[in-house]
């Protein structure tokens, strides 16, 4: 179907990226598999959380119990709803689960204000519909319908961005596990094969999204994915992500540990509104997620590799961070300045990386002021 | 190197196979009983340990049982074994830090005993099989002194009661931490549950204790020797060995059961060869008993590890239930989860405003818990699986920091609300005794439980001040002993005339004693208990996300001062500093400042004259309110009236703080004239006015404009005409709501209630406006206008009425008398009224009249 080998893509689906791991797991997996599952629940757990003995990488950091709960939810009748702040790897987690459980993560609906019911139930190939009337051939199945027929997992991203009536069309599918097609006659319906389930993601705190009805909430088990609280974990994760992003390129920038520390501390301080020493800070409204930290580290590495001598410094971090954090928000600029003036300045006395960071971040602050 | 490792004589790193073999042998030696001693390594409060121990003791019928409990608790054995005693209970141990100073707080330790405590099982079994009991730990006083020395620097922590059953050595050992990471658990408790509580139904107690012992051995081997010496652990173990040897000798070859925290067992099995660690040569004297030890009732909530007391395991009711089910052989793997979820549904049904989960959701939760247990390779769901399942299936929303109703109810259920029982012979806890003696010494009549009233002359009589502090302290402890009916109010921004007396009603009811008994483990004196309660309040504020609530923080400071315990309540100041620095709510901050200023004014009578921290706090709060003034212009419209009133209050506070200087407005307090007064708070009026001008430049509207214009007028940098102009532009803005139209006048009157009477121009504006508008506009404006004018007190209303009378040339004074009505007319009217009432009742509409009358009665 897909030919991944002869062409490179910006981003390959999880089942292709981790093809080796999944294959190894399938070969050694002896545990009982729920109907329709490619792997046993324990193997899915090992795939997501990693297992050194089997050479499986850890793909999700910070909350092992959440992964276990999510796997158990997917075994049952309920769908799985992953909620939380932006950038907490909700979508990645959903992709990993579908790749491990169904062997495919491509059944995906990207929710938005313009998502229509066709994306959840079915649409028609109108040329064929007009030519030969309603027939199974003229019907265009939605990702949900395909997942039901194949007994696989379908993902619905940003469910709260869809209009409520579109969200509601999921209700009967989740409870009846059936889509009827009245156009093809009374007895025609698609019934879900074992292994079918829905993973939704939603950001409940964003402004301007549609509230989920309690009827749809009842049909999902909820899991809140939180930002990573453990600094060591976060460091490991950023390092791994940056390395894998740079893997496809010919450059090899050096990211010294103390420079990475600057990034991790700054993000974690600003995110929690409190430094490791317990100084209270004003939290910026900008998203200070790990994903954003990876973006900063990645861009800083690119800058160092292409525009400097290849060694990432605190100065690179400061420049990139300004772009990510400050954007246009005046209030955030003030908060970042306060952080630089009080915390970074203090640390600059004893650390070179912080000094580089401080020197640049300070001038970034001033530009902000001059605007 | 550990004793066990020394014995094996290995030097290099141990291979996996060698380690496994060594552990196997160790486990066998524990429960083999070769020298007559059976070792039972336990975790305090563990139901699995308790149940297996019970079976083992019934099988072995030992002649002696040796427990880890402190030797000075032995006199309490008859009370513990008393048939009326029911867990949860606790043994409280006290040493006085300084016998000369009666207010110096004592050091407290306590040993909680739950239903699922192996020690409890052992105590019961000893009675049943006639075994002798030996308490083998060093007297509790030794550990308390060690604890006290360790805590000397952190003065705030000194009053924290120490839990004598703490298991930090196991929980924080490197092995335990590695184990937590390895299995992906969240804490040690979860690991322990998976490894051992899940085996409550096992049939082989030997295997069980061998396994517990091995894990505890590894914990010990990954704990540094330095830490064990610092904790006094090695000295304690020397004593444990001695007592065990004595018990063994006395048993004369019959079996002996040694029941110790698993971390100590290795030291009992293989004594260290180093004689330096014997207590005779060590730094502590074994004769150091506590000054007092007594038995008190305890609660399940206090037992909860998560409640901040660190007394063992979380969710005590859950574990008690696990034990009860397993004991009756009724413990089908998932039944505990099912029962818990059913209880939860019932509790939610009873709870007002909660929506109980539907049956399919409950079913899903039970399935979820079961499947999680299978995924984690457990025989059935334990505590973590139940909580996890609830979180996944019952919580239909983001799991926010402050938690949900459902999870909170579940936690409450699993914690339990049970209270233990102690026999009458256990005597009165010192706290209760201290309170009673103090009440009598201060001439509160407590012999009969009737309500009495007492007036306290707090300014002139030192004894009455002491009585007031006692009553406040009892109120702080929520004993319901005394209620303040009248007294100085420290919470208001308006200047108060000094109030000379406090009037209290009080009654020494049985509930007072019950509450003091419940608090017995928190302190030995009223002061210590108050400090404990205050600290709890601070933690509660922080947990509720209210650490920036400056008003609540200052209220705590006031409570501490009124109860006379501020000198001991060290936690308050850092919390207060943080709250003042973080609070971004202007009106709340002004209220906090008002309370602080009240404390400053009342400092003599509160005994705070020498408290140097008070004046800087007033200054900090004042500066902080000034910093927030520029933000008022961006505040949401809904907050405007409150913000404007707060700004007016801030003006009054500024007036007082700048004019009073160091002078004390209260009546001089006899007996305290000699006290060196702390210097008065210094505030800068110029900065305040600067900020106000800055705010005016941003062109505020409504109440804020009224406040600013009036302050400007009174301070001399705006004219009377400006105020009149602001008030008029508000009233005449016909497109606004009535409340908004009255806003400027509202603000003006908040600054000066006498403005209308004193300022001809303002009164003229209002008068002219009211004369001009038609009746409909007047009626629509009337409710808002009435509310605005309600700030005037009756005298001011009379004076203003006279002023308006003269302005309008009405016959003065206004004739408010009723027109004359004759007696006969009243009689006729009453008769008509009765007839009408009868008519209305006859038509079945009587409730109309009743409702009205009731409302009237309530008013």
From the list B372, B374, B581, the residue facing A280 with the nearest CB is B581
Same domain? For A143 and A240 the reply is no
Query: What pLDDT digit, counting tens, does each position of A41-68 carry?
Result: 999 999 999 988 888 888 888 788 999 9
Task: Give the DSSP letter string of B788-806.
Answer: HHTTS-HHHHHHHHHHHHH
Number of domains in chain A: 2
B825 contact partners, CB below 8 Å, separation of at least 6: none
Mean pLDDT for B196-207 is 90
Residues of A in CB contact (< 8 Å) with B are: 41-42, 45, 49, 64-65, 68-73, 75-78, 83-84, 204-205, 214, 217-218, 220-224, 280
Mean pLDDT for A152-156 is 95
Q: Of the segments A313-322, A331-340, B380-389, B786-795, which one has the largest average pLDDT value?
A: B380-389
Does the beta-carbon distance from B388 to A69 stay under 8 Å?
Answer: yes
B57 pLDDT tier (thresholds 50, 70, 90) = very high
Lowest mean pLDDT among B496-500, B557-561, B653-657: B496-500
Mean pLDDT for A251-272 is 85
Q: How many residues does chain A have?
A: 371
End-to-end CA gap in chain B:
80
- Specify the pLDDT at position B646: 92
- Specify the pLDDT at position B203: 87
- The Cβ of residue B720 has, within 10 Å, a number of other Cβ atoms equal to 16
Query: Best interface-test mutation with A: which of B383, B396, B542 has the largest number of A CBs within 10 A?
Result: B396
Query: What pLDDT digit, counting tens, does each position of B764-812 carry?
Result: 888 888 888 888 888 888 999 998 888 888 888 888 888 887 777 766 5
**C-alpha span between B286 and B139 (Å, rounded):** 7
Does the beta-carbon distance from B398 to A77 stay under 8 Å?
Answer: no
Q: Is residue B308 scored above 50 in pLDDT?
A: no
Does the beta-carbon distance from B388 to A75 stay under 8 Å?
Answer: no
Q: Does B388 touch chain A (CB under 8 A)?
A: yes
Contacts A224 to B, Cβ<8 Å: 398-400
Contacts B581 to A, Cβ<8 Å: 280
Q: Is residue B243 scored above 50 in pLDDT?
A: yes
- Specify the pLDDT at position A86: 76
Mean pLDDT for A267-282 is 76
Among left, alpha and beta (phi > 0; psi -120 to 50; other), residue A135 is beta
Mean pLDDT for B29-39 is 89
Q: Convert B283-313 to b/e letters by CB count within 10 Å (16 or more is b).
A: ebebebbbbbbbbbbbbbbbbbbebebbbbb
Evaluated on CA atoms B553, B556, B558, B564, the torsion sign reads negative
B805 contact partners, CB below 8 Å, separation of at least 6: B811, B812, B813, B814
Element (H, E) at B505: strand B501-506
Question: Are the CB atoms for A123 and A134 separated by under 8 Å?
Answer: no
CA neighbours closer than 13 Å in the CB half-sphere of residue B785: 13
For chain A, what percent of residues have pLDDT higher than 70? 92
A146 pLDDT tier (thresholds 50, 70, 90) = very high
Does the beta-carbon distance from A222 to B186 stay under 8 Å?
Answer: no
Residue of B nearest to A279 (CA): B578
pLDDT top residue among A208 and B723: B723
DSSP state of B448: S
Q: Is residue B159 scored above 70 in pLDDT?
A: no
B143 pLDDT tier (thresholds 50, 70, 90) = confident
Same domain? For A190 and A334 the reply is no
Query: What pLDDT digit, counting tens, does each position of A14-32 carry?
Result: 898 899 999 999 999 888 9
Q: Is residue B135 scored above 50 in pLDDT?
A: yes
A2 pLDDT tier (thresholds 50, 70, 90) = very low
Same domain? For A200 and A258 the reply is no
Using alpha carbons, select from A369, A364, A271 the residue that is nearest to residue A315.
A364
Residue of B nearest to A49 (CA): B184
B687 pLDDT tier (thresholds 50, 70, 90) = confident
Using alpha carbons, select from B271, B392, B299 the residue that is nearest to residue B341.
B392
Question: Are the CB atoms for B119 and B65 separated by under 8 Å?
Answer: no
Burial (CB count <10 Å: 0-12, 13-18, 19+), residue A349: exposed
Does the beta-carbon distance from A69 to B399 stay under 8 Å?
Answer: no
B206 pLDDT tier (thresholds 50, 70, 90) = very high
Q: Is A140 domain-assigned? A: yes
Mean pLDDT for B656-676 is 52
Question: Are the CB atoms for B705 and B751 separated by under 8 Å?
Answer: no
Query: What pLDDT digit, counting tens, does each position of B459-499 carry?
Result: 888 889 899 999 999 999 888 899 888 877 665 545 455 67
Same domain? For A19 and A89 the reply is yes
Beta bridge pairs of residue A155: A108, A199
Same domain? For A184 and A235 the reply is no
What is the nearest CA distance from A303 to chain B, expressed in angstroms?
36
pLDDT top residue among A320 and B673: A320
Q: Is residue B712 scored above 80 in pLDDT?
A: yes
A131 pLDDT tier (thresholds 50, 70, 90) = very high
Query: What pLDDT digit, counting tens, does each position of B804-854 carry?
Result: 877 777 665 555 555 677 788 888 889 998 899 888 888 888 777 775 555
Question: Are the CB atoms for B192 and B308 separated by under 8 Å?
Answer: no
Cis peptide bond N-terminal to B88, omega within 30: yes
**C-alpha span between B260 and B801 (Å, rounded):** 84
Does the beta-carbon distance from B392 to A204 stay under 8 Å?
Answer: no
- Specify the pLDDT at position A345: 82
- The Cβ of residue B208 has, within 10 Å, a number of other Cβ atoms equal to 23
Same domain? For A143 and A276 the reply is no
Structure tokens at B811: 């016959």
Same domain? For A213 and A236 the reply is no
Structure tokens at B289: 């008993």
Q: Is residue B439 scored above 70 in pLDDT?
A: yes
Mean pLDDT for B558-572 is 83
Mean of per-residue pLDDT scores for chain B: 81
Nearest-5° angle of CA B109, CA B113, CA B118? 125
Q: Is residue B415 scored above 60 in pLDDT?
A: yes
Residue of A nearest to B386 (CA): A69
Using alpha carbons, select from B362, B373, B28 the residue that is nearest to residue B197.
B373
B341 pLDDT tier (thresholds 50, 70, 90) = very high
CA neighbours closer than 13 Å in the CB half-sphere of residue B446: 21
Among left, alpha and beta (phi > 0; psi -120 to 50; other), residue B130 is left
What is the nearest CA distance from A182 to chain B, expressed in angstroms?
29
Q: Is A7 domain-assigned? A: no
Q: Does B582 touch chain A (CB under 8 A)?
A: yes
From the list A65, A78, A217, the residue facing B364 with the nearest CB is A78
Structure tokens at B650: 């801030």
Phi, psi of B778 (to 5 degrees): -60, -45
pLDDT top residue among A100 and A10: A100
Burial (CB count <10 Å: 0-12, 13-18, 19+), residue B765: buried
- Specify the pLDDT at position A3: 47
Q: Is A124 domain-assigned? A: yes
Structure tokens at A134: 């309603």
Does the beta-carbon distance from A78 to B393 stay under 8 Å?
Answer: yes
A370 pLDDT tier (thresholds 50, 70, 90) = very low
Residue of A nearest to B581 (CA): A280
CATH (domain of A61): 3.40.50.300
Burial (CB count <10 Å: 0-12, 13-18, 19+), residue A321: buried
B256 pLDDT tier (thresholds 50, 70, 90) = very high
- The Cβ of residue A336 has, within 10 Å, a number of other Cβ atoms equal to 25
From the list B376, B384, B395, the residue facing A222 with the nearest CB is B395
Using alpha carbons, select from B674, B665, B672, B614 the residue that is nearest to residue B488.
B665
Q: Which residue, A209, A224, A239, sits at the end of a domain?
A: A224
Using alpha carbons, select from A310, A326, A329 the residue that is nearest to residue A363.
A326
Q: Which residue, A224, A245, A280, sits at the end of a domain?
A: A224
From the list B368, B398, B578, the residue facing A73 with the nearest CB is B368
What is the nearest CA distance from A181 to chain B, expressed in angstroms?
28
Q: Is residue B311 scored above 80 in pLDDT?
A: no
Same domain? For A220 and A247 the reply is no
pLDDT top residue among B355 and B599: B599
Does the beta-carbon distance from B396 to A217 stay under 8 Å?
Answer: yes
What is the nearest CA distance from B159 to chain A, expressed in angstroms?
24
**C-alpha span between B840 and B849 (Å, rounded):** 8
Q: Is A3 domain-assigned? A: no
Q: Does B178 touch chain A (CB under 8 A)?
A: no
Same domain? For A143 and A206 the reply is yes
Contacts B403 to A, Cβ<8 Å: none
- Specify the pLDDT at position A35: 93
B848 contact partners, CB below 8 Å, separation of at least 6: B840
Nearest-5° angle of CA B241, CA B246, CA B250? 145
For chain B, what percent of residues have pLDDT higher than 90? 22
Cis peptide bond N-terminal to B709, omega within 30: no
Q: Does B191 touch chain A (CB under 8 A)?
A: no
Residue of B nearest to A282 (CA): B582
Residue of B nearest to A84 (CA): B398
B42 pLDDT tier (thresholds 50, 70, 90) = very high
**For residue B606, how far is the Cα from the chain centroid?**
24
Q: Which residue, A176, A193, A224, sits at the end of a domain?
A: A224
Which residue has 């049970």 as its token pair? B418
- Specify the pLDDT at position A130: 94
**C-alpha span between A283 and A330 (Å, rounded):** 13
Which residue has 């209760």 as its token pair? B432
Q: Is A2 domain-assigned? A: no
- Specify the pLDDT at position B824: 85
pLDDT top residue among B304 and A157: A157
Same domain? For A78 and A186 the reply is yes
Does the beta-carbon distance from A65 to B399 stay under 8 Å?
Answer: no
Q: Does B812 touch chain A (CB under 8 A)?
A: no
Residue of B nearest to A219 (CA): B361
Does the beta-carbon distance from A84 to B582 stay under 8 Å?
Answer: no
Write a three-state SS string for chain A: CCCCCCCCCCCCCHHHHCHHHHHHHHHHCCCCCCCCCCCCHHHHHHHHHCEHHHCECCCCCCCHHHHHHHHHHHHCCCEEEEECCCCCCHHHHHHHHHHHHHCCCCCEEECCCCCCHHHCCEEECHHHHHHHCCCCCCEEECHHHHHHHHCCEEEEECHHHCCHHHHHHHHHHHHHCEEECHHHCCCCEEECCCCCEEEEEECCCCCCCCCCCHHHHHCEEEEECCCCCCHHHHHHHHHHHHHHHHCCCCCCCECCHHHHHHHHHHHHHHHHCECCCCCECCCCCCCCCHHHHHHHHHHHHHHHHHHCCCECCHHHHHHHHHHHHHCCCHHHHHHHHHHHHHHHHHHHCCCHHHHHHHHHHHHHHHHHHHC
Residue of B nearest to A83 (CA): B398
Lowest mean pLDDT among A190-194, A239-243, B26-30, B552-556: A239-243
Query: Best interface-test mutation with B: which of A34, A68, A79, A331 has the largest number of B CBs within 10 A?
Result: A68
Tell me if the pTM is above 0.90.
Answer: no
What is the nearest CA distance from A216 to chain B, expressed in angstroms?
10
Phi, psi of B163 (to 5 degrees): -85, 120
Q: Is A8 domain-assigned? A: no
Same domain? For A193 and A271 the reply is no
CB pairs under 8 A between A and B: 72
From the list A49, A77, A204, the residue facing B397 with the nearest CB is A204
Same domain? For A206 and A281 the reply is no
Q: Is A9 domain-assigned? A: no
**C-alpha span between A243 and A301 (Å, rounded):** 10
Using alpha carbons, select from A45, A40, A164 the residue that is nearest to residue A96.
A45
Contacts B368 to A, Cβ<8 Å: 69, 72-73, 76, 221
For chain A, what percent of residues have pLDDT higher than 90? 31
- Specify the pLDDT at position B382: 92
Contacts B401 to A, Cβ<8 Å: none
**Domain that residue A244 falls in:** 231-370
Q: Does B407 touch chain A (CB under 8 A)?
A: no
**Pairing verdict, β A79-83 and A220-224:** parallel
């Amino acid at each position: 179907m897909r030919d991944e080998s002869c062409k490179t893509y910006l981003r390959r689906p999880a089942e292709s990226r981790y093809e080796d791991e999944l294959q190894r797991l399938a070969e050694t997996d002896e545990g009982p598999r729920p109907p329709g599952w490619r792997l046993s629940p324990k193997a899915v757990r090992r795939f997501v959380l990693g297992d050194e003995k089997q050479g499986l990488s850890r793909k999700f950091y910070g909350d092992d119990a959440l992964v276990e709960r999510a796997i158990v939810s997917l075994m049952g009748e309920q769908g799985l709803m992953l909620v939380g702040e932006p950038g907490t790897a909700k979508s990645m987690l959903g992709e990993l689960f579908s790749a491990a459980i169904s062997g495919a993560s491509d059944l995906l609906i990207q929710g938005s204000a313009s998502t229509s019911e066709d994306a959840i139930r079915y649409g028609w190939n109108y040329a064929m519909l007009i030519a030969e009337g309603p027939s199974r051939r003229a019907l265009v199945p939605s990702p949900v319908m395909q997942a039901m027929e194949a007994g696989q997992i379908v993902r619905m991203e940003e469910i709260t961005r869809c209009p409520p009536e579109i969200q509601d069309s999921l209700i009967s599918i989740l409870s009846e596990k059936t889509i009827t097609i009245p156009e093809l006659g009374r007895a025609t319906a698609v019934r879900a094969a074992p292994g079918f389930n829905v993973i939704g993601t939603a950001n409940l705190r964003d402004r301007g999204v549609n509230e989920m009805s309690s009827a749809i909430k009842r049909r999902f088990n909820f899991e809140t994915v939180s930002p990573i609280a453990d600094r060591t974990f976060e460091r490991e994760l950023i390092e791994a992500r940056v390395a894998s992003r740079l893997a496809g390129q010919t450059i090899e920038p050096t990211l010294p540990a103390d420079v990475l520390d600057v990034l991790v501390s700054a993000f974690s301080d600003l995110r929690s509104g409190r430094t490791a020493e317990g100084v209270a800070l004003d939290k910026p409204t900008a998203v200070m997620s790990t994903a954003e930290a990876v973006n900063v580290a990645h861009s800083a590495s690119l800058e160092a590799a292409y525009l400097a001598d290849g060694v990432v410094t605190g100065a690179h971090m400061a420049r990139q961070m300004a772009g990510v954090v400050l954007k246009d928000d005046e209030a955030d600029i003030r908060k970042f300045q306060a952080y630089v003036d009080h915390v970074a300045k203090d640390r600059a006395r004893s650390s070179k990386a912080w000094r580089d960071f401080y020197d640049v971040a300070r001038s970034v602050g001033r530009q902000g002021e001059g605007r | 190197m550990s004793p066990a490792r020394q014995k094996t004589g290995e030097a290099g790193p141990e291979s996996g196979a060698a380690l496994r073999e060594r552990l196997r042998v160790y486990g066998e030696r524990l429960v083999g009983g070769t020298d007559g001693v059976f070792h039972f390594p336990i975790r305090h409060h563990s139901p699995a340990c308790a149940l297996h121990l019970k079976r083992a003791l019934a099988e072995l019928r030992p002649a002696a049982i040796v427990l880890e409990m402190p030797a000075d608790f032995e006199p309490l054995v008859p009370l513990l074994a008393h048939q009326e005693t029911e867990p949860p209970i606790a043994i409280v141990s006290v040493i006085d830090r300084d016998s000369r100073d009666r207010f110096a707080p004592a050091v407290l330790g306590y040993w909680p005993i739950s239903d699922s405590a192996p020690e409890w099982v052992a105590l019961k079994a000893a009675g049943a099989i006639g075994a002798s009991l030996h308490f083998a730990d060093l007297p509790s006083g030794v550990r308390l002194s060690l604890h006290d020395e360790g805590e000397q620097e952190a003065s705030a922590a000194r009053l924290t009661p120490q839990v004598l059953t703490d298991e930090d050595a196991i929980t924080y050992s490197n092995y335990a931490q590695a184990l937590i990471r390895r299995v992906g658990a969240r804490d040690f408790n979860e690991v322990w549950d998976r490894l051992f509580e899940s085996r409550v139904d096992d049939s082989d107690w030997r295997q069980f204790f061998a396994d517990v012992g091995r894990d505890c051995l590894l914990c010990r081997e990954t704990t540094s020797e330095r830490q064990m010496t610092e904790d006094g652990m090695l000295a304690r173990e020397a004593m444990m060995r001695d007592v065990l040897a004595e018990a063994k000798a006395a048993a004369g070859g019959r079996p002996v059961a040694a029941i110790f925290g698993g971390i100590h067992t290795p030291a009992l099995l293989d004594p260290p060869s180093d004689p330096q660690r014997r207590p005779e040569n060590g730094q502590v004297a074994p004769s150091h008993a506590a000054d007092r030890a007594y038995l008190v009732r305890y609660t399940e909530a206090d037992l909860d590890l998560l409640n901040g007391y660190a007394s063992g395991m979380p969710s005590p009711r859950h574990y008690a239930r696990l034990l009860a089910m397993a004991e009756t052989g009724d413990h089908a793997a998932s039944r505990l989860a099912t029962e818990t979820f059913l209880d939860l549904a019932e509790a939610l049904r009873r709870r007002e405003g909660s929506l109980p989960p539907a049956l399919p959701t409950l079913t899903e939760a039970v399935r979820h818990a079961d499947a999680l247990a299978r995924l984690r390779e457990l025989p059935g769901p334990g505590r973590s699986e139940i909580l996890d399942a609830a979180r996944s299936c019952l919580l239909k929303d983001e799991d926010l920091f402050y938690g949900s109703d459902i999870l909170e109810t579940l936690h409450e259920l699993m914690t339990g609300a049970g209270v233990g029982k102690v026999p009458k012979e256990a005597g009165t806890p010192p706290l209760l005794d201290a309170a009673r003696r103090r009440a009598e010494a201060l001439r509160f009549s407590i012999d009969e439980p009737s309500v009495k009233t007492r007036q306290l002359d707090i300014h002139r009589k030192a004894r009455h001040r002491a009585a007031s502090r006692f009553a406040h302290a009892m109120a702080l402890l929520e004993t319901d002993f005394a209620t303040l009916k009248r007294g100085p109010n420290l919470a208001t921004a308006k200047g108060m005339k000094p109030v000379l007396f406090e009037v209290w009603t009080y009654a020494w009811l049985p509930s007072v004693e019950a509450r003091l008994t419940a608090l017995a483990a928190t302190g030995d004196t009223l002061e210590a208990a108050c400090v404990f309660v205050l600290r709890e309040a601070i933690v509660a504020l922080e947990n509720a996300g209210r650490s920036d609530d400056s008003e609540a923080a200052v209220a705590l400071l006031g409570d501490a001062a009124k109860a006379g315990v501020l000198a001991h309540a060290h936690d308050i100041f850092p919390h207060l500093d943080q709250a003042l620095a973080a609070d971004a709510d202007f009106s709340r901050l002004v209220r906090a400042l008002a309370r602080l200023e009240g404390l400053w004014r009342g400092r003599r009578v509160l005994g705070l004259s020498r408290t140097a921290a008070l004046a800087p706090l007033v200054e900090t709060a004042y500066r902080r309110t000034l910093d927030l003034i520029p933000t008022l212009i961006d505040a949401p419209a809904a907050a405007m009236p409150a913000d404007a009133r707060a700004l007016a209050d801030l003006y009054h506070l500024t007036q007082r703080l700048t004019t009073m200087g160091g002078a004390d407005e209260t009546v001089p307090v006899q007996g305290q004239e000699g006290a060196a007064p702390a210097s008065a708070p210094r505030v800068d009026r110029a900065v305040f006015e600067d900020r106000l001008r800055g705010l005016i430049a941003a062109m505020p509207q409504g109440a804020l404009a009224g406040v600013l214009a009036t302050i400007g007028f009174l301070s001399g940098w705006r004219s009377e005409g400006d105020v009149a102009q602001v008030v008029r532009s508000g009233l005449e803005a016909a497109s606004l709501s009535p409340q908004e139209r009255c806003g400027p006048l509202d603000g003006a009157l908040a600054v000066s209630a006498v403005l209308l009477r004193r300022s001809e121009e303002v009164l003229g504006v209002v008068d002219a406006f009211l004369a001009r508008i038609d009746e409909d506009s007047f009626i629509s404006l009337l409710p808002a206008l009435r509310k605005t004018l309600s700030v005037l007190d009756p005298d001011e209303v009379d004076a203003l009425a006279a002023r308006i009378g003269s302005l309008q040339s009405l016959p003065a004074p206004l004739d408010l008398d009723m027109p004359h009505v004759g007696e006969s007319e009243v009689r006729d009217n009453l008769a008509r009224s009765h007839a009408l009432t009868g008519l209305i009742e006859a038509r079945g509409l009587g409730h109309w009249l009743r409702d009205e009358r009731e409302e009237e009665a309530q008013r």
